Structure 1
């Protein structure tokens, strides 16, 4: 944990370089503002060029940060490699990488294959490309650095309905766990990995059908503040609560999901009518 804390302190300093995908809005934009407020140089990437340039201009005007905005399709490996090369060519280093780009969509099990492909390209392959393109160079630099991948609670509890999204975020969890293990196994490696798991957050993907923030949702700034606090504390799994769901309730839901396997229950039993009362009792035992 001491090494993680020292990495956090070393990374979020003036002059250090942050690369953030999905930076045009939501959690990515809030993270960019967090880094800029600490005097970091920014490389911001997003598929939406118009929104990306507007975000870069706004953050530069507010914080006076050096910002390089690069429209990027993270689903293409060559585009992510170009993002890496341009970041290093411009600033000579990458101290913080956030693979945050994501998309939603109706990825029902028997849904449109094109929707499945689009979701997996961005949410899963975008993270894989980011890790494989950046991590070896960051490790070789031999100094403290941090990689954050943005997952989802849906990748852990697997609620029925949007299977493509669940799969993509379950894959992000697996990739990030493997990355953390790999980094720990390398002698002298000072790169740290974290899995960010937001709660209900009011972003571009969640504001439809209203532009008014639901009472239960956190803002992206709240998510980023919590992420920073837990990174500094050394957490790998950064499981964010929100205004409706506590960490204790999240823990119970995740434990019940894991126990579908250990108790040999039907998969996704939490949503199975035959287990509704058992799940209520399970929560009640934990004071929830």
Structure 2
């Protein structure tokens, strides 16, 4: 990132992390605290949030529903000036286009509107101030390649990608490089949302691995922080994303990666033929 944005992660400055009670959010909160930052952990109220905050020296816990815009604005006024905002909260339940509408609305409300609410609550003061600032939104590869099965989740994360791209442009025009936005795109990560299993699957990364790469890539100034895992390489990710974009350019059927008529072509593409 720019020198100005890098300075946002600094001792005694304030970081806010949503979805901070577990997984990537908790790992990020720990990492920011290790840099001497004051960290506010936002998540649904409960024992998990309280335990997470108690385990991080100097951290504070705020029980809030990120889908509640008024509550997020009130909390922003209570917390005060922020140097780092990580809009990470998300849920995985959803379904295809025929799934229950209430479930769809909840997924969109948390995963997409929760990011918007966090940005609209905290970012205006970052823009209006004169200090360096950093905003990170947690997206998903599913928002790019759109695998079938959980369309609600895919739609929400595709929205996060578009929102964060637009945010990056708006921040650049308003603040230059003083406040920047970045899109974290995790791979297969072992979190409470992705698996109820007591042990991490061999193919998954930990939240700590994701955050370590995130900090490294932020230091390089990357907007798109695309994470591999123990079963998917960066090269495989690149080929899958290129194929997904090629559906539009080649006018193939929607989601042709999973279409039987294109199975052989996709296999050749992944093999580099």
Measure the CA separation in 1 of the matches of 2:94 and 2:251.
29
- CA 1:108–1:161 in 2, change beyond 3 Å: closer, same or farther? same
- Residues 94, 107 of structure 2: 8 Å contact kept: no
- Residues 142, 189 of structure 1: 8 Å contact kept: no
**Among candidates 238, 241, 260, match of residue 225 of structure 2:** 238
- Residues 201, 242 of structure 1: 8 Å contact kept: yes
- Residues 74, 122 of structure 1: 8 Å contact kept: yes
Question: Deviation at 1:82?
Answer: 1.5
Question: Deviation at 1:49?
Answer: 2.5
- CA 1:189–1:222 in 2, change beyond 3 Å: closer, same or farther? closer
CA RMSD, aligned part only?
1.2
**Among candidates 86, 98, 101, match of residue 98 of structure 1:** 86
Moved more, 190-199 or 179-188: 179-188
Structure 2 counterpart of 1:215: 202
Structure 2 counterpart of 1:83: 75
Structure 2 counterpart of 1:21: 18
Structure 2 counterpart of 1:123: 111
Runs of 4+ displaced beyond 6 Å: none
Residues 136-189 of structure 1: CA distance to partner in whole angstroms, max 9, x if unpaired?
110111221100000000000000110110000000000000000111112545
- CA 1:263–1:188 in 2, change beyond 3 Å: closer, same or farther? closer
Measure the CA separation in 1 of the matches of 2:175 and 2:188.
38
- CA 1:187–1:121 in 2, change beyond 3 Å: closer, same or farther? closer
Q: How does 1:42-121 map to 2 (within 5 A)?
A: 42-60=39-57, 66-88=58-80, 93-121=81-109
Structure 2 counterpart of 1:63: none
1:278 equivalenced with 2:270 (yes/no)? no
**Among candidates 157, 162, 167, match of residue 155 of structure 2:** 167
Structure 2 counterpart of 1:34: 31
TM-score (norm 2): 0.97
**Among candidates 220, 227, 234, match of residue 214 of structure 2:** 227
TM-score (norm 1): 0.92
Indicate the SS of the match to 2:192.
Answer: coil
Structure 1 counterpart of 2:193: 205
Indicate the SS of the match to 1:214.
Answer: coil
Q: How does 1:179-190 map to 2 (within 5 A)?
A: 179-186=167-174, 188=176, 190=178
Measure the CA separation in 1 of the matches of 2:74 and 2:153.
26
- CA 1:274–1:48 in 2, change beyond 3 Å: closer, same or farther? farther
